[in-house]
Amino acid sequence: ANDELHARIRAAKETLGSRVVILGHFYQRDEVVQHADFLGDSFQLANAAQTVPEAETIVFCGVHFMAETADILAKPTQNVILPNLAAGCSMADMADLDSVEECWAQLEEIYGAEPDADGRVPVIPVTYMNSSAALKGFCGRHGGIVCTSSNAETVLEDAFARGQRVLFFPDQHLGRNTAKKMGVALEQMPMWNPRKPLGGSTSEQLQDARVILWHGFCSVHKRFNVGQIEAARAEFPGVRVIVHPECPMEVVDAADEAGSTDYIRKAVAAATEPTTFAIGTEINMVNRLAAEFPQHTIFCLDPVVCPCSTMYRIHPGYLAWVLEELVAGRSPNVIEVDEVTAADARLALERMLALRP
Ligand code: 13P
Ligand code: SF4
Cα 242 to ligand 1 centroid, rounded to whole Å: 14
211 residue type, one letter: V
pLDDT at 19: 96
* Atom of ligand 2 at shortest range from CA of 25: 6
Domain residue limits, the chain: 2-89+311-336, 92-217, 221-300
The values of phi and psi at residue 101, to 5°, are -65, -35
Question: 192 vs 269, which has greater pLDDT?
Answer: 269
In the chain the first and final C-alpha atoms are separated, in Å, by 42
**Identical fold, 2-89+311-336 and 92-217:** yes
Q: Is a pLDDT exceeding 60 seen at residue 197? A: no
**According to DSSP H, which parts of the chain are helical?**
2-16, 30-33, 42-50, 64-73, 97-111, 133-141, 152-162, 172-181, 203-208, 226-235, 249-254, 261-270, 283-292, 316-327, 339-354
Q: Is a pLDDT exceeding 80 seen at residue 357? A: no
Q: Is a pLDDT exceeding 70 seen at residue 168? A: yes
Residue range 92-217, CATH number: 3.40.50.10800
Q: Is a pLDDT exceeding 80 seen at residue 203? A: no
Bridge partners of 299? 278
The CB of 130 under 6 Å from ligand 2? The reply is yes
Can you tell me the mean pLDDT for 262-270? 97
- Which residues lie below 8 Å from residue 29, measured CB to CB, with a gap of 6+? 284, 312, 314
Query: Is 151 known as a binding-site position?
Result: no
65 residue type, one letter: F
Ligand in closest contact with the CA of 282: 2
2-89+311-336 has which fold? Rossmann fold (3.40.50)
* Atom of ligand 2 at shortest range from CA of 89: 1
The string of pLDDT tens digits covering residues 41-57 is 999 999 999 888 789 99
Mutate which of 65, 154, 244 for ligand 1? The one with the most ligand atoms within 8 Å of its CB, which is 244
Taking the model in full, what pTM does it have? Answer: 0.96
pLDDT at 219: 95
* Atom of ligand 2 at shortest range from CA of 63: 6
Query: Is 294 known as a binding-site position?
Result: no
Residue nearest to atom 8 of ligand 2 (CA): 89
Q: Does domain 221-300 have CATH number 3.30.950.10?
A: no
The CB of 63 under 6 Å from ligand 2? The reply is yes
Can you tell me the mean pLDDT for 25-40? 96
| Residue 58 and residue 70 in contact, taking contact as beta carbons nearer than 8 Å | yes
- The answer to whether the bond into 170 is cis (omega within 30° of 0) is yes
Query: Is 284 known as a binding-site position?
Result: no
pLDDT at 194: 60
Ligand in closest contact with the CA of 311: 2
Cα 112 to ligand 2 centroid, rounded to whole Å: 34
The CB of 311 under 6 Å from ligand 2? The reply is yes
Q: How far apart are CA 243 and CA 112, in angstroms?
A: 38
pLDDT at 196: 62
Query: Is 139 known as a binding-site position?
Result: no
pLDDT at 118: 95
Q: Is a pLDDT exceeding 90 seen at residue 298? A: yes
Can you tell me the mean pLDDT for 22-49? 95
The string of pLDDT tens digits covering residues 114-158 is 999 999 999 999 999 999 999 999 999 999 999 999 999 999 999
The CB of 129 under 6 Å from ligand 2? The reply is no
Q: Is a pLDDT exceeding 70 seen at residue 113? A: yes
| Residue 152 and residue 245 in contact, taking contact as beta carbons nearer than 8 Å | yes
Please give the full DSSP string across 300-345, using - where no structure is assigned: ES-SS----TTGGG--HHHHHHHHHHHHTT---SB----HHHHHHH
Query: Is 77 known as a binding-site position?
Result: no
* Atom of ligand 2 at shortest range from CA of 221: 2
Confidence grade of residue 321 (pLDDT, cut at 50, 70, 90): very high
Query: Is 244 known as a binding-site position?
Result: yes
Cα 307 to ligand 2 centroid, rounded to whole Å: 9
| Residue-averaged pLDDT of the chain | 95
Cα 312 to ligand 2 centroid, rounded to whole Å: 11
pLDDT at 200: 67
Confidence grade of residue 184 (pLDDT, cut at 50, 70, 90): very high
